[in-house]
Amino acid sequence: MTTKLWDGRFAEKTDELVEKFTSSIDIDKNLYSYDIQGSIAHCKMLAKQLIISDKEAEQIIKGLLEIKEEIESGNFKYNDKLEDIHMHIEARLIEKIGETAKKLHTARSRNDQVVLDVRIYLKEKTAFIIEDIIKLQKALVKFAKEHVNTIMPGYTHMQRAQPVLFAHHIMAYYEMFGRDIERFQDSLKRTDVMPLGAAALAGTTYPIDRDYTAELLNFSNVSSNSIDTVADRDFIIEFLSCASICMIHLSRISEEFILWSGAEFGFIELPDAFTTGSSIMPQKKNPDICELVRGKTGRVFGDLICMLTVMKGLPLAYDRDMQEDKEPLFDAVNTLSLCIKIYTNMLPKIKVNKDMMKKAASVGFLNATDLADYLASKGMPFRTAHNCAGKAVSYALKNKKELDQLTLEELQSFSSLIKKDVFEALELEQMIEKRISDGSTSYKNVFYAIDSAGKKNEKEQNE
Ligand code: ARG
């Protein structure tokens, strides 16, 4: 069937190019199962409210389920003339069961129907994404646990700063993804709102039961204002914001892995299965997967900017501009899901070069703060101690030595407070051990962080 369902008042045929231009079927056909689910619930509600008969409802539901099968088996024909998935399904239903099918759209408009479909879709996808992030967190905790004795240089301004446990660095990402989970959970509250019943914008004259529809579709809330209901795409923008922040985190870890896997760092080796070769340089093992995750972050930001721009300045209520919401949303959902999964699978296979990390942490005066702390612990005010340690660094630099390679006499020339025990304070392990403030890099703190993270994720997955 190719006749339009809205052509009653039109005398002229739609221009062919316009048909192509207005059609969104290539994109929104992905919503078919949610559309059918929504229509079945709507139909049941219409029957319960005696707006249609039980027999009619039965016929409609049977037809809708058959259409679902046709779509899933690849036997469904799409046509630009029918614009979108809602029209395709309705037109096919009319073809299959005749006049009764035309009752399905009672007390409903495509404006509330489309946003219902997107909300069901996004509720499902957000829940999947949260589950996937929990899995990624578990992989991070395992990775940290396996390398709990590895010391690396910690950086600020991309300059070696102070030694930290590699596990501590990895657990920083655990925290970042934890915040992502909270953000998605929070956005979910505003996605979980049932819009059907707003109809075109003003509501409907039929005695519908919106709570019943919400119950059938497992929605926690029913929308309030019918105009807002069809005009609102905030929940999509919120999801895209959460997705963008999550992509930032994936992009930052990607950037670090790219740097660390290069010869200049040599901290890690990425697994063969997650790297690619060069078509000209036989020796190359490229971190393309990390690079692509970093690159795809741009796509997801683009999806967010796209939706922000589409919505900016739109008068209430529904405007066709909003049809442009699905492509960026689907793109962000698919991109983010894939990037999270790739990282979860890649992490356990990454080899860590403990010696290279330790070597890097031993060179470059990463113990200068500890020398200052040592002096402060002997009674020197910290600012003075900082200055004194700075002078020692400058002296060591000139003499091409590390602080712990200076003799006791050399060190004492900067302060008579310096005693033999200074060498202990300048040792890597000691520097880690002494970072005792809550949340710092001491072994004890990091073990604790790993342990409580493990327990938390265990609990979350059992919920
Ligand atoms: N395909 C449309 C969309 O995605 C469905 C709603 C169309 N409503 C309308 N009044 N033309 O937004």
For 44-95, give the secondary structure using H, E and C. HHHHHCCCCCHHHHHHHHHHHHHHHHHHHCCCCCCCHHHCCHHHHHHHHHHH
Q: What is the DSSP letter of 24?
A: -
Residue 154 near residue 169, CB atoms below 8 Å: yes
> What spacing in Å lies between the alpha carbon of 114 and ligand 1's midpoint?
7
Cα 240 to chain center, whole Å? 9
Homologous superfamily (CATH) of 111-207+217-352 is Fumarase/aspartase (Central domain) (1.20.200.10)
Q: How many CB atoms lie within 10 A of CB 42?
A: 26
Please report the DSSP string for 149-200 in residue order.
Answer: T-EEEEEETTEEEEEEEHHHHHHHHHHHHHHHHHHHHHHHHHH-EE-TT-TT
Tokens of residue 206, six digits: 């039929």
Residue owning the nearest CA to atom 4 of ligand 1: 323
| Number of residues that this document lists for the chain | 463
CA distances from 275 to 135, 142, 381 (A): 22, 22, 51
From the candidates 53, 220, 278, 394, give the one annotated as an active-site residue.
278
The alpha carbon dihedral of 372, 375, 380, 384 has a sign of: negative
What average pLDDT does this structure show over 360-372? 92
pLDDT of residue 2: 52
> What spacing in Å lies between the alpha carbon of 87 and ligand 1's midpoint?
10
d(CA 348, CA 142): 8
- Domain ranges for the chain, please list them: 7-106, 111-207+217-352, 360-462
Residue owning the nearest CA to atom 12 of ligand 1: 323
- Is it the case that residue 216 has pLDDT exceeding 80? yes
d(CA 308, CA 332): 14
pLDDT of residue 262: 94
**Mean of all residue pLDDT scores within the chain:** 95
pLDDT of residue 150: 97
Residues with Cβ < 8 Å from 373, sequence gap 6 or more? 382, 385, 425, 434
Please report the DSSP string for 219-283 in residue order.
Answer: -SEE-S-HHHHHH--HHHHHHHHHHHHHHHHHHHHHHHHHHHHSTTT--EE--GGG-B--SS-TT
> What spacing in Å lies between the alpha carbon of 305 and ligand 1's midpoint?
21
d(CA 448, CA 439): 9
Reference 219, options 242, 240, 243, 188; nearest CA is: 188
Residue 43 near residue 57, CB atoms below 8 Å: yes
pLDDT of residue 273: 84
Among this protein's residues, is 278 annotated catalytic? yes
If you classify domain 7-106 with CATH, what class do you get? mainly alpha
pLDDT of residue 79: 92
pLDDT of residue 3: 64
Among this protein's residues, is 157 annotated catalytic? yes
The 3-state DSSP class for residue 365 equals: coil
For the Cβ of 113 lying below 6 angstroms from any atom of ligand 1, the answer is: no
Q: Which residues pair with 286 in a beta bridge?
A: 276
pLDDT of residue 1: 46
Q: What is the pLDDT of residues 103-148, one digit of tens each?
A: 999 999 999 999 999 999 999 999 999 999 999 999 999 999 999 9
For the Cβ of 84 lying below 6 angstroms from any atom of ligand 1, the answer is: yes
CATH number of 360-462: 1.10.40.30
Q: What is the pLDDT of residues 153-183, one digit of tens each?
A: 999 999 999 999 999 999 999 999 999 999 9
> What spacing in Å lies between the alpha carbon of 29 and ligand 1's midpoint?
13
Q: What is the pLDDT of residues 374-399, one digit of tens each?
A: 999 999 999 999 999 999 999 999 99
d(CA 344, CA 346): 6
What average pLDDT does this structure show over 51-67? 98
For the Cβ of 35 lying below 6 angstroms from any atom of ligand 1, the answer is: no
- Is it the case that residue 252 has pLDDT exceeding 50? yes
What average pLDDT does this structure show over 302-329? 98
Give me the percent of the chain exceeding a pLDDT of 90: 89
Q: What is the pLDDT of residues 34-49, one digit of tens each?
A: 999 999 999 999 999 9
For the Cβ of 126 lying below 6 angstroms from any atom of ligand 1, the answer is: no
CA distances from 206 to 93, 104, 201, 227 (A): 22, 13, 14, 17
d(CA 140, CA 174): 6
Closest ligand 1 atom number to CA of residue 24: 1
What average pLDDT does this structure show over 437-462? 89
